[in-house]
């Protein structure tokens, strides 16, 4: 992240008072601004945040700054995970981190229908989807659809 004046700390998110923001170290402010740019429903690693700060060896320091985050969930530290894909730590507990990530996860609905016949016409009577599967569910989906079916995803 670059500022017009490198000696000036990054500005606070609108929802956080300037007074509270100014009590943080420069490193914490930079970490929190970087984390605020992670879109909802996505995650990044501690290493990714450290690299964006220009300090690729500072992944542990990023983790410590996020552990001390007084502005959660405004500063969405739950979106930062380990490089191996595991959740890592969370001041509110890993179960809470998992719930926050699940709540933000995009939902996908698959419409399954047989593929069109070689002549290009749909199979008679099957113009509507044969099944709709909610991918956001934690329930097992069962067997995969036959390869002759097509799936379209909509959110």
Residue 37 covered by a domain:
yes
Residue 3 covered by a domain:
no
Gap between the Cα atoms of 31 and 10, Å rounded = 10
The answer to whether residue 77 is catalytic is yes
User: 45-75: per-residue pLDDT in tens?
Assistant: 999 999 999 999 999 999 999 999 999 888 9
Provide the token pair at 35. 């984390």
Gap between the Cα atoms of 15 and 17, Å rounded = 7
User: 83-140: per-residue pLDDT in tens?
Assistant: 998 998 888 899 999 999 989 887 655 555 555 554 554 444 444 444 444 444 444 4
**What's the predicted TM-score (pTM) here?**
0.63
With H, G, I as helix, E, B as strand and everything else as coil, classify residue 149.
strand
44 with 98, same domain? yes
- Considering 36, 77, 108, 153, which one is annotated as catalytic? 77
The two beta strands, 149-154 and 131-134, are unpaired
26 with 68, same domain? yes
Please give the tally of structural domains in the chain.
Answer: 2
């Amino acid at each position: 992240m670059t500022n017009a004046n490198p000696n000036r700390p990054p500005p606070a998110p609108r929802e956080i008072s300037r007074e509270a923001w100014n009590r943080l170290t420069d490193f914490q402010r930079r970490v929190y601004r970087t984390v605020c740019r992670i879109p909802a429903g996505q995650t990044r690693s501690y290493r990714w945040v450290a690299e964006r700060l220009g300090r690729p060896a500072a992944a542990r320091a990023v983790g410590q700054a996020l552990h001390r985050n007084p502005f959660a969930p405004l500063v969405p530290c739950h979106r930062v995970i380990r490089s191996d894909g595991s959740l890592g730590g969370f001041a509110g507990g890993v179960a809470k981190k998992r719930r926050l990530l699940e709540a933000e996860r995009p939902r996908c609905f698959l419409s399954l229908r047989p593929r069109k016949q070689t002549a290009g016409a749909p199979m008679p009577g099957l113009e509507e989807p044969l099944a709709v599967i909610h991918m956001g569910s934690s329930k097992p989906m069962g067997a995969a659809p036959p390869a002759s079916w097509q799936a379209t995803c909509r959110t």
